[in-house]
Chains A and B, each alone.
Chain A
Amino acid sequence: MGLRSIIALLLATIGLVVFLSTLEPFRIFVPGLLGGAWMTVRIAALGSLLAVVFGVASALSALYGPAPLRWLARTYVEIFRGTSALVQLFWLFFVLPDFGISLEPFTVAVLALGLNVGAYGAEVVRAAIQTVPRGQWEAATAVNMTQGQMLRRIILPQAVLTMIPPWGNLFIELLKSTALVSLITISDLSFMAQEMNQTTMKTIDIFTLVLLIYLAISLTITIAMRLLENAASRGLARGRAH
């Protein structure tokens, strides 16, 4: 879908939410849900940041690190991709205190989601680096760069453009996973929805709003990644010349 259509869809969704919030059955839910949405956005944003850090660190370690670091990176990826986000979330939430580590639920949430999506992100980073043509490595060697310089100045900047769409998908997955934090008592959008539903049983009204709000956030992420992609490809003018 073109960028313009996505923006149109986002505006339509927001418009629908605004419209519904003026109607009687929906009005009372809106403030609480928006409060929950804010919590969702915060967790998604911080979790995504963490995911990028873990993903890049893990990919670079697995590709270029010394043997123990490579092993650590690969184990991290296997474990966090092989088990589900909820299992990881519950493990960190219920089990860490037994090891003497008490974290705030918010921190646990951000950590668990960041670790989970970061493991998938490691694959994305690795694939993007390996897409950079061999010739770039050779040209950098020919001007006598160290491996670190090659990665930093030549390879990674080119890999970044390839990475953006897959990371966009991962960020949306992370957004959807934030709903899980409602199960460890965090007042995100999903939690507020469940609470309101239990009290009022007005499921359709509440969940319609909830779905629209999630959709709006998801579309915003997609738009942001498209804009990022456009900006990055302008700096990296690609393609062979005539």
Chain B
Amino acid sequence: MLWDWGYALEILPVLAKAAIVTIEATFLGFLIAASLGLVFAIMRMSGPLVAGPVTLLVELVRSTPLLIQIFFLYFVLPKFGVTLDAFTAGVLALGLHYATYCSEVYRAGLENIPRGQWEASTALNLSSFTTFKDIILPQAIPPIVPALGNYLVALFKETPLLSAIAVLELMQTAKILGSETFRYVEPITLVGVIFLIMSLVSAVGIRWVERALNRRTAR
């Protein structure tokens, strides 16, 4: 038969547990992406000596497949004495890849801050650190939160790539279930539906956040 509801309900708990792994990977990966992205953005605003290599790295990571980067981290780091389990390597790769996208978003947000803010900070003799922390970032971040949110969703949708290094997230679990019972329809479709639902929910969430922020900074 085409669709076995019994089987589908049977595997739902298994998929639910795998979903937790997916969500963990998403949030940890995004944590890395959001923080590292900001670091990259700030570094690219510094002198050419620092900005140059960082820009090159960012371009390289952005222009090449995430899958390759996952393999690279998983297989290369051990050669430098750092052996990571699949989950950690995967999360790092996700974080690094999306840090490059986030750095672009941060860059746009920072460039939107009027020059006058920087100049006023200099005139008040604030240190670079204080300037960023108290003046620039609080103004730069709110407008770009929706864009960052979009990348959170995108990152979430790319977690199935971790199945390539056998991380037990949703896609890998579905494949294992499928290969055990030779029924792939239910596991993979359910995974698709789960992603779809979470994607639609987060789209609504992001729009809500966007509206909440616009209310706060209403001009």
Binding site for B on A (CB under 8 A): 78-79, 81-84, 86-88, 90-91, 94-95, 98-99, 172, 175-180, 182-183, 190, 193-194, 197, 201, 203-204, 207, 210-211, 214-215, 218-219
Query: Do residues A83 and B157 form an inter-chain contact, with CB atoms below 8 A?
Result: yes
CB distance from A122 to the nearest CB of B (A): 16
B52-92: contact bitstring with A at CB < 8 Å (1 yes, 0 no)? 00000000100111111001100110010000000000000
Give Cα distance in the complex from A204 to B79, angstroms.
Answer: 9
Asked whether B188 lies within 8 Å of A90 as measured between CB atoms, the reply is yes
Query: Nearest-CB distance from B177 to chain A (Å)?
Result: 11
Q: CB-CB contacts of B172-190 with A at 8 A, as 1s and 0s?
A: 0011001000011100110
The interface size of chain B toward A, counting residues with CB under 8 Å, comes to: 35
Q: Which of B63, B67, B185, B195 contacts A182 (CB 8 A)?
A: B67
- Tally of A-B residue pairs with Cβ under 8 A? 106
User: How far apart are A90's CB and chain B's nearest CB, in angstroms?
Assistant: 6
Residue pair A215, B171 in contact (C-beta under 8 Å): no
Stretch at the interface among B128-136, B138-146, B158-166: B158-166
**Contact A179/B189 with A82-B196, A83-B199, A204-B76 known, Cβ cut-off 8 Å:** no
**Alpha-carbon distance between A179 and B71 when the two chains are bound, in angstroms:** 11
Residues A180 and B188 in contact, CB atoms below 8 Å apart: no
Provide a sorted-by-A list of 19 A–B residue pairs whose CB atoms are within 8 angstroms: A84-B195, A86-B158, A88-B192, A90-B160, A90-B174, A90-B175, A94-B178, A95-B188, A95-B189, A176-B63, A176-B64, A182-B67, A183-B164, A197-B75, A203-B71, A207-B75, A211-B64, A211-B68, A214-B64
B158 and A91 contacting across the interface, CB-CB below 8 Å: no
- Could you tell me the distance between the alpha carbons of A67 and B151 in the complex, rounded to whole angstroms? 32
Cα A210 to Cα B63 in complex, Å, equals: 12
Which A residues are CB-close (under 8 A) to B158? 84, 86
